[in-house]
Amino acid sequence: MGIIMQRTAGGWGDGWGSGLLGVIIFSGSLPATRVAVSDFTPLFLTSARAVIAALLGVMLLLVLRQKRPEKEDLVPLAVVALGVVIGFPLLTALALQHITSARSIVFIGLLPLATAIFGVVRGGERPKPAFWLFSVIGAASVAGFALANGDFAASAGDLLMVAAILLCGLGYAEGARLSRRLGGWQVISWALVVALPIMALIAVVTLPDVWTGIGGPAWLGLAYVSVFSMLVGFIFWYRGLALGGIAGVGQLQLLQPFFGLVLAGMLLGEPVAWSMIAVTGLVVLCVAGAKRFA
């Protein structure tokens, strides 16, 4: 763990390796959220996971004696908090009240494109034209799947997932930009600290009235999204984006639907349609093309 946290320079391969570990960890986020919202409200789940992760982040910052961010870093950290601490967790929790985690996972295929776009806008990256071709094909596959397989209730969940993807892409790109100076785990830790006051207030206001009816799976889901999805995964992910490039390494998220569908089917017993597998297979192929031209 100590090696991971060191702010050392790494190579291009290190960036993709760290990014892949982050994607694997994030793959369990939506299935875990789906389980947790069965007994917790989306607002409480979002705020509680942020508070737990923030307390862990504060301990890391204090133990490792990290200096405070500069004043000019506060707004970018607030953007990171808005995107990955508040926006994505809350909107996905709301979406999972309308759609299955298997369906929501397919939307993750849009996240690499969103991250790449914000990487160009905020990070100044300039991928090759062929990169955009593969990215658009992957995103279009996901969008086509959603449009062809939706009813009104699912559409509400779909729209929430699209909004979540946009905010998350912004948070990823902004966090990666900061990670080049502050370090990956430092960025997510400080972003959690920035969001802590409002998240703690929301957690207190939305505390469950009755605790006895909350099952073990919901507690496990809360624990996973708090420790792994909200903190540990970002240690690897932001390091990968900073070392390997926001647009390039961001394409690894096209693999996340594959891992997530496996977890949704195995752990939750959710139906995984052949169309989901087909779309996932197509976007996985897009990763190889995008990686080559990043």
- Please give the pLDDT value at position 101: 75
Compute the distance between CA of residue 248 and CA of residue 46 in angstroms, rounded to an integer. 29
- Least confident among 10-24, 35-49, 197-211: 10-24
Cβ atoms within 10 A of the Cβ of 31, count? 29
More reliable by pLDDT, 97 or 128: 97
pLDDT grade for 290, boundaries at 50, 70 and 90: low
Compute the distance between CA of residue 68 and CA of residue 27 in angstroms, rounded to an integer. 31
Q: Which of 233, 282, 230 is nearest to 255 (CA)?
A: 282
- Please give the pLDDT value at position 109: 72
Q: What are phi and psi of 150, to 5 degrees?
A: -130, 150
- Please give the pLDDT value at position 67: 87
Which tens digit of pLDDT belongs to each residue from 205-245? Answer: 999 988 888 999 999 999 999 999 999 998 898 888 888 87
Compute the distance between CA of residue 241 and CA of residue 42 in angstroms, rounded to an integer. 29
Compute the distance between CA of residue 288 and CA of residue 291 in angstroms, rounded to an integer. 5
- Least confident among 150-154, 180-184, 222-226, 240-244: 150-154
Answer yes or no: is pLDDT of 13 > 70: no
Cβ atoms within 10 A of the Cβ of 68, count? 10
- Please give the pLDDT value at position 154: 58
More reliable by pLDDT, 11 or 275: 275
Answer yes or no: is pLDDT of 12 > 70: no
What would the mean pLDDT of 26-49 be, rounded to a whole number?
91
